[in-house]
Amino acid sequence: MGLEDQYIQPFDTLDEDDRSKRWEEWIANFDRFIFIKGVKEDNLKINYLLFLGGNGVDKVYQPVKDETDTYDVVKGKLTDQFKSKFSSKIHVLQFRELYQFKGELFENFVTRLKEKAKKCSFADEDNEILVQILHKCTSQKLKRKVLESEKELKLDEIIKAGKLEESVTVQLQEFDKISDTEK
């Protein structure tokens, strides 16, 4: 095996989280690998796939295996097996349940929202995140700012305002601590 073989990590079949998307990314990377290696024979492609994919991929393939399978058929069978059994509706429900934890940094809350929103297939992801921030962030000042705004604020403007408000709050708390110790 060459040095390039070390860049293909086995596919984690046990991690249910976004497995379908991870498989699409993994198999696209693998297809680039076999192209670069110049592998043309289906049997060799299949063996590379099952070997580099790891034991989990091999175990998933064995029950649906047919001796006449071509590489494209094997890839299709594995893709079908790794399709998410998790409905996007479930992801949407989980997204709607996300809220900013007490003491959680605003930026961390936004990151969690963005990561979950990717799995929801929203038509307007930014707007959905914006609404969730408005509904579930802990800052009443930020909510007020959004509601009082005469123009429709964009997500990046709200994120910037949220970070600024949080930073100012922390600085004021530090200022209060210093003032209290001077008394």
The per-residue pLDDT for 57 is: 93
Per residue in 108-123, pLDDT (tens digit) is 999 999 999 988 878 8
Q: Where among 82, 109, 143 does a domain terminate? A: 82
Token pair listed for 92: 């949407």
Per residue in 50-71, pLDDT (tens digit) is 999 999 999 999 999 999 999 9
Would you say residue 85 has pLDDT above 80? no
Q: Where among 82, 99, 120 does a domain terminate? A: 82
Same domain as 140, residue 72:
no
Q: Where are the alpha helices (DSSP H) in the chain?
A: 19-37, 42-53, 55-61, 71-82, 88-97, 106-117, 125-136, 140-148, 155-182
Number of domains observed in the structure of the chain: 2
